[in-house]
Amino acid sequence: MRNIAAFFDIDGTISREGLISEMFKKMIKYELINSSKWYIEVEPAFTRWDKRVGDYDDYLQKMVDIYTETVKNTDSFHVAYIAKKVIEQKGERVYTYTRERIRWHKAQGHLVIAISGSPIELVREMSAKYGMDDYKGTIYQVDGNGIYNGKITPMWDAESKRKAVLEIAEKYRIDLSASYAYGDTNGDFAMLKLVGNPFVINPTRELLTNIRKDKPLSDKISIIVERKDVTYRMNVDRLDLLQ
């Protein structure tokens, strides 16, 4: 008998805020990142996004680039400590819908697995907090002394997530046709296509556009939008994407 699994992206799907941004702020607090990096390089992108005249991905990419630059030659112990603090303080800022879905899947005896582009240290802590069975995240590699060497094994792109799902499916003998996946951006597109029960949570325009172009996926997708204390379920064919 094969297992059923639920694959969850974290940032924007479970967590209401990008965990990498919380990690970034903590690294400033602990003086691993100079605060000028925020004001000069990140804040302008954040302000454009906050005013809805810029793209969230631009803001996020700025933080990722600086994070990558900063952790090089840093002891992994410090990053693991900060990641633990981030999840302790922000790990419950999640969407009601996905939190309840995690509980539902566990009650059904399904495997619950995180597939996230966030640093593996954050993904590990978040997975432990919600009792997940396994996880995959972006690996910032360390040398024999536990120091980051600047090499990265990414998990934020569609192809990396696709490979991760297939590896885990083989490891646990998972029936993907009966399994579930939850995502919010185009990086989750390939993962959503692999399962029989795909869900998108507050999806981006790019992801919705690509779903509409893919008939097999659009026929089975569930679109969930959560705003304030109300959760909406929508039909992809009836969506009117406004500017």
Better-predicted residue by pLDDT, 13 or 51: 13
Instruction: Determine phi and psi for 144, rounding to 5 degrees.
Output: -65, -15
pLDDT at 16 over 80: yes
Structure tokens at 129: 């907090």
Bridge-based pairing of strands 222-227 and 230-234 is antiparallel
Query: Across residues 68-80, what is the average pLDDT?
Result: 85
CATH code 3.40.50.1000 for 5-238: yes
Question: pLDDT over 90 for what percent of the chain?
Answer: 49
Structure tokens at 147: 């120091």
Q: What is the mean pLDDT of the chain?
A: 88
pLDDT at 212 over 80: yes
pLDDT at 1 over 70: no
pTM given for the model: 0.90
Most confident of 70-84, 167-181, 196-210: 167-181
Q: Which residues contact 228 (CB under 8 A, 6 or more apart)?
A: none
Structure tokens at 80: 């693991």
Neighbours of 165 (CB within 10 A): 25
- Grade residue 26 by pLDDT with cuts at 50, 70 and 90: confident
**pLDDT value for 17:** 78
- Grade residue 125 by pLDDT with cuts at 50, 70 and 90: very high
Better-predicted residue by pLDDT, 204 or 88: 88
